[in-house]
Amino acid sequence: MILLDGKIISEQVKAEIALEVENIKRQGGKVPHLVAILVGHDGGSETYVANKERSCIQVGFRSTVFRFEDTITESKLLYEINLLNNNPDVDGFIVQMPLPKHISEQKVIEAIDPKKDVDGFHPLNVGRMTIGMPAYISATPDGIVELLRRYKIETSGKHCVVLGRSNIVGRPISNLLSLKGYPGDCTVTVCHSRTKNIPEITRTADILIVALGQAEFVTANMVKEGAVVIDVGINRIKSETTKSGWKLLGDVKFDEVAPKCSYITPVPGGVGLLTIVSLLKNTLKAAKKEIYG
């Protein structure tokens, strides 16, 4: 069994990006600039944005955070987004979710210029990805694809079972893996809460991607010998054995599933670590005008 190590891969990709930024600087080019909009004071969002800022600095990007109180009106936020859309100094930006209830997240996503939508949530980017056109791909599916590529995992003709059909994980990854060419060409089955006989289906998977949000849902008897298992789930569970009083569990019962796998991601330390890297990759593409010219 080989561990798909998100830490090693994320450091590798960051080093490659940092090298490219160095070259851009040396040639007198513009350093990529990522802006994050943060509304309110949600602890999780503060942490995510701080991590993003740290990673930007690590690779040599410029990073700016625009903070607004959670009393900001929807129209004022849309106005600020429009300013960023038209600011040539900003290559890409993200609006950290969740937003306060009085603001429509969908309206916000659709207000972002697709050319600067480095989160890859705009319907134009989602649509372009779906038909295999160049697009900003959102962080989690892109992170999974990065792991498959870096570990040179064969996908052509494989049966890939995806557990979960959310718009941010299950749906896009099932789509990407069925596209023509590497790392696609899979035969993909998508399962969700209405699917019957999930264990019967997962036992036929060469590649099993689990994004349910159900701690340790996948057990050894649900996995084929030699399968590649990618666990996206992050579940914060109360624990009496840790100092903090909680622990992180994936959607896969790692200890009993791992010995059956050819490759498996740990939680934490797997897919999650690659999500910020995907944002950095997209920002570099935005600065280089790689997607839309």
Give the footprint of ligand NDP on this chain (CB under 6 A).
140, 164-166, 168-170, 191-195, 211-214, 232-235, 271-272, 275
Task: Check the CA dihedral 251-257-261-265 and report its sign.
Answer: positive
**Closest CB to ligand NDP among 123 and 226?**
123
Least Cα distance to 56 among 291, 289, 290, 282 occurs for 282
CB of 144 to ligand NDP, least distance (A): 9
CB of 71 to ligand NDP, least distance (A): 27
Residue 89 CB-density burial (10 A; 0-12 exposed, 13-18 middle, 19+ buried): exposed
Residue 259 CB-density burial (10 A; 0-12 exposed, 13-18 middle, 19+ buried): exposed
The whole-angstrom separation of Cα 218 and Cα 225 is: 14
Amino acid at 37: I
Catalytic site includes residue 58: no
CB of 215 to ligand NDP, least distance (A): 8
Q: Which of 52, 115, 253, 285 is catalytic?
A: 52
Q: If you ran DSSP here, which 8-state letter would residue 154 be given?
A: -
**Closest CB to ligand NDP among 214 and 262?**
214
Q: Which of 5, 91, 96, 142 is catalytic?
A: 96
Respond yes or no on whether the N-terminal peptide bond of residue 98 is cis (omega within 30° of 0). Answer: yes
Backbone angles phi, psi at 37, to 5 degrees: -100, 125
**Closest CB to ligand NDP among 91 and 119?**
119
The residue with its CB nearest to ligand NDP is: 166
CB of 170 to ligand NDP, least distance (A): 5
**Closest CB to ligand NDP among 12 and 214?**
214
**Closest CB to ligand NDP among 160 and 232?**
232
Q: Which of 117, 119, 142, 251 is catalytic?
A: 119
Respond yes or no on whether the N-terminal peptide bond of residue 114 is cis (omega within 30° of 0). Answer: no
CB of 119 to ligand NDP, least distance (A): 12
Residue 168: alpha-carbon gap to chain centroid? 8
The whole-angstrom separation of Cα 98 and Cα 103 is: 10
Are 258 and 278 in contact, with CB atoms under 8 Å apart? no
Q: If you ran DSSP here, which 8-state letter would residue 137 be given?
A: P
Catalytic residue positions, numbered: 52, 96, 119
